[in-house]
Amino acid sequence: MLTLPQVSVTLTQSVAFLIFVAPLCLYVAWNDLRAMKIPTWSTDALAIIFVVVGIFVMPFGEYAWRYSHFFVVLVIAMILNAVGAMGAGDSKFLASAAPFVALEDAFLVLMLLGLGMLVGYVMHRVAGRISAVRNLVPTWQSWQEHKRFPLGFPMGAVLILYLALPLLSQL
């Protein structure tokens, strides 16, 4: 039997956040694969979901503290963007997703993100070589890219997985 890692997200938080976050993350992943862009409105929406939903499902002290996660990750992501390690949309997505992650879960999420990026990269490159798959969406910009990778794909998947862990552990 597979034992899932325990996270600081409660079952209530998991359900409340996933209702809004999962569809948005799926859109971000799809749009980044399609156009190699994460629209600003989607990262703004992700931040707004935390602001609006978080106040109802988190203790206020923890909720308020999580805003510091946004600013710390934003500075780090801006530096990564400045040196060309990631795009601006990726940076904004990471910063907007940061408040959803409890500090004590940061190492787990970073490990999931590293693994997700590796698996996502391999999946994308393999799928791009399968003509039946590639022909389903022949106009995706990400098929044409050889140096850049649509990070919205694994980042969205990791946020969904992290928030879903309390639900999955109930199965």
Which tokens go with 168? Answer: 């999955």
Alpha helices in the chain (DSSP H): 11-35, 40-57, 60-82, 88-97, 106-129, 131-134, 141-144, 152-168
DSSP 62: H
Kindly report each contact of residues 112-115 with a partner whose C-beta sits within 8 Å and lies 24 or more positions away, as own/partner. 112/158, 112/161, 112/162, 113/154, 113/155, 113/158
Q: What is the pLDDT of residue 34?
A: 97
pLDDT in tens, 128-142: 999 999 999 999 999
pLDDT in tens, 150-170: 999 999 999 999 999 999 998
pLDDT in tens, 21-71: 999 999 999 999 999 999 999 999 999 999 999 999 999 999 999 999 999
Of 163, 151, 43, the C-alpha closest to 101 is: 163
Q: Does residue 2 carry a pLDDT above 80? A: no
Task: Tell me how far the alpha carbon of residue 147 is from its chain's centroid.
Answer: 21
Q: Can you tell me the distance from the alpha carbon of 46 to that of 171, in angstroms, rounded to the nearest whole number?
A: 27
Q: Can you tell me the distance from the alpha carbon of 40 to that of 33, in angstroms, rounded to the nearest whole number?
A: 16
Q: Does residue 1 carry a pLDDT above 70? A: no
Model's pTM, two decimal places? 0.96
Q: Can you tell me the distance from the alpha carbon of 166 to that of 82, in angstroms, rounded to the nearest whole number?
A: 36
Domain boundaries, the chain: 11-168
Q: Are 66 and 54 in contact (CB under 8 A)?
A: yes
